[in-house]
Amino acid sequence: MSRSILIVDDDDMLRSFVSAVLREDGYEVEEAKDGKTGLAKLSRSDFALVITDLRMPGISGLDLMREGKKTRPETRWIIITAYGSIGSAVDAVKAGASDYLTKPFQSPDELRHVIRRVMREVEAERKITLLSEELGKRFPPMEMIFLGDKMSKVFKVVQDVAPTSTTVLISGPSGTGKELVARVIHQLSLRRDKPFIAVNCAALVNTLLESELFGHEKGAFTGAVATRKGKFELADDGTIFLDEVGEISPSVQVKLLRVLQERTFERVGGTSPISVDIRVISATNKNLKEEVPTGRFREDLYYRLNVFPILLPPLIERKEAIIPLAEFFAGKFAASLGKKIRRFTDAATEQLLGYKWPGNIRELENVIERAAILTKDEIDVQHLSLEPPAETFPPPQGLLRKSEKEIIQKVLTEAGGNRKEAAKILGISLRTLQYRIKEYEL
């Protein structure tokens, strides 16, 4: 559909000229000699764009557009009119036309310029639709995520900041939906048809993170067999999302600060400056302001990232969303498992609402996935298998505490700071490891 155009004009010579120019540019073109024929073609086929003369015998171009929009609201329209009828063309634009052209045309390039601009808008809308569909597969609907008084306030500030290019810092506990909020900001921005590149800063050791963000030149280090673009280059003209930005090392923080200040950087091993036009959205589950006095996070970088802060509340403060989210996840997993889950029992509902949800929405999703596997038709308490949160585990004391701290530090070092790998080696969950790291101030 995205390359198909219908031309409606009773002037055979003009219609043939427009068709020839468009076919030369690679568009799929159909013609109609009057409004009645054009309306019939519209009823049978999808067109990305209709180019129609304003004045035609029978159905006028304006009436054709009004009728066509009833059945094909997504189709774009360009009106062709004589120079003396520009006022009518302006009325057509007010009625929903994307643009108008006056005849006779000055050159084929005048025609191409207007059509290419409108078709770029068509392609941008198509990408937004695809992105929305993709988000729908991975995340709950936006209206569910922003359900309740606290999250409706968050959505208000998201709508305020999205159309700007302001740098945003999203804070909140793990699992509260920080990446989803970042994607919503991108979708509602003027960059929505450009790339959205997400980087998990905690998933890579520092040397690899620098290369991942800024790219590297061939031969910059062992294994760099070819020049590689980094995420900042790939996000040019779009948005880069830096998740867990508080985990970035001081050396990478310096380079990130320069990008925020100058929108310029060099690849690892490179000397040529690379300029980018990007929006930066970052996220953290830490209080970065408290990290500044300890020296773990640069003060100047903190203020550069924290231009527009957004704080996401934990799920326990959004109780009105717990059951709708649980029902959404139950339906999602039931469909993938070929089951039909009828309901949550009253006891299960009570337990879901009474639990503290230290892992927030992510933990809720995992709990419901397990429950969907265990149940046949309804979810009860025994299917939820809710465990006490990590914060209730008693910390080790004395020599045991000292030994455990040393072991964890040693394994983290051997794993290059990769927490998932360290947890695997230690034989504990990632959540428990994160709790120990916080407890021991590693």
| pLDDT tens column, 296-342 | 999 999 999 999 999 999 999 999 999 999 999 999 899 888 888 98
What distance in Å separates the CA atoms of residue 202 and residue 417, rounded to the nearest whole number? 8
The superfamily (CATH) of domain 395-440 is Homeodomain-like (1.10.10.60)
Which of the residue ranges 43-52, 165-174, 231-240 would you say has the lowest mean pLDDT? 43-52
pLDDT tens digits for 173-222? 999 989 989 999 998 899 988 999 999 998 887 778 888 899 888 887 77
What distance in Å separates the CA atoms of residue 118 and residue 93, rounded to the nearest whole number? 13
What pLDDT, on a 0 to 100 scale, did the predictor assign at position 197?
94
Count of Cβ atoms closer than 10 Å to residue 189 Cβ: 20
Q: Where are the domains of the chain?
A: 4-129, 139-311, 315-387, 395-440
Confidence band of 257 (pLDDT split at 50, 70, 90): very high
Q: Which pair of tokens denotes residue 408?
A: 């964890």
Mean pLDDT of 72-89: 79
Q: Which pair of tokens denotes residue 74?
A: 């997504």
pLDDT tens digits for 389-424? 444 444 444 555 566 777 888 778 877 788 888 877
What does the mean pLDDT of the chain come to? 85
- Say whether the peptide bond before residue 104 is cis (omega within 30 degrees of 0): yes
What pLDDT, on a 0 to 100 scale, did the predictor assign at position 400?
55
Give Cα 440 distance to the centre of its chain.
35
Q: Has residue 168 got a pLDDT over 60?
A: yes
4-129 and 395-440 in the same fold: no
What pLDDT, on a 0 to 100 scale, did the predictor assign at position 138?
61
pLDDT tens digits for 124-133? 666 555 555 5
CATH of the domain spanning 4-129: 3.40.50.2300
What distance in Å separates the CA atoms of residue 181 and residue 60, rounded to the nearest whole number? 46
**CATH class in words for 315-387:** mainly alpha
Whether residue 341 contacts residue 334, with contact meaning beta carbons closer than 8 Å, is answered with: yes
What pLDDT, on a 0 to 100 scale, did the predictor assign at position 387?
63
Q: How many percent of the chain have pLDDT more than 90?
A: 44
Confidence band of 1 (pLDDT split at 50, 70, 90): very low
Pairing of strands 378-379, 274-275: unpaired
What distance in Å separates the CA atoms of residue 373 and residue 195, rounded to the nearest whole number? 36
Which of the residue ranges 79-88, 196-205, 358-367 would you say has the lowest mean pLDDT? 79-88
- Model pTM score: 0.59
Whether residue 118 contacts residue 78, with contact meaning beta carbons closer than 8 Å, is answered with: yes
What pLDDT, on a 0 to 100 scale, did the predictor assign at position 148?
86
The superfamily (CATH) of domain 139-311 is P-loop containing nucleotide triphosphate hydrolases (3.40.50.300)
